[in-house]
């Protein structure tokens, strides 16, 4: 199995801060990585696909980068509505398409 290691597991930041989450794959996944946002009691929502492409309708303060084994997700200026848990997920054609363990983002 390909393991996805996300860090940190939780994060507290102030409105307006730049927030960065990392995701490391246990083997090369090229750019086969998505980022999802999940708010409490809701289904996940796709933000970034293919490591760096912004899903239609997603605010431009969200971005992703990386390839191979190391990936980064960034919120350029944290807004109150960004409070959620964020997950990375690979989709290299080797099941399972594992998710990272999640990063819970809170407002300081």
Partner 1 sequence: QVNLVQSGAEVKKPGASVKVSCMASGYTFTTYGISWVRQAPGQGLEWMGWITAYNGNTNYAPKLQGRVTMTTDTSTSTAYMELRGLRSDDTAVYYCARGVATLGYWGQGSLVTVSS
Long-range contacts of 24-28 (CB under 8 A, 24+ apart): 24/69, 24/70, 24/71, 25/68, 25/69, 25/70, 25/71, 25/90, 26/1, 26/2, 26/69, 27/2, 27/69, 28/68, 28/69
Is there binding between residue 96 and partner 1 (CB under 8 A)?
yes
Give the one residue of 11, 17, 31, 91 binding partner 1; rule: CB under 8 A: 91
Give the one residue of 11, 46, 54, 83 binding partner 1; rule: CB under 8 A: 46
Contacts with partner 1 by CB under 8 A lie at 1, 32, 34, 36, 38, 43-46, 49-50, 55, 85, 87, 89, 91, 95-102
């Amino acid at each position: 199995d390909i393991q996805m290691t996300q860090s940190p597991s939780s994060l507290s930041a102030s409105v307006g801060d730049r927030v960065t989450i990392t995701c490391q794959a246990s083997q090369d996944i090229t750019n086969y990585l998505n980022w999802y946002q999940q708010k409490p009691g809701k289904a996940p929502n796709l933000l970034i696909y293919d490591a760096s492409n912004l899903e239609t309708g997603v605010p431009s303060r969200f971005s992703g980068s990386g390839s191979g084994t190391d990936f980064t997700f960034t919120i350029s200026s944290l807004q109150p509505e960004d409070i959620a848990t964020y997950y990375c997920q690979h989709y290299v054609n080797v099941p399972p398409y594992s998710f990272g363990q999640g990063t819970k983002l809170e407002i300081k």
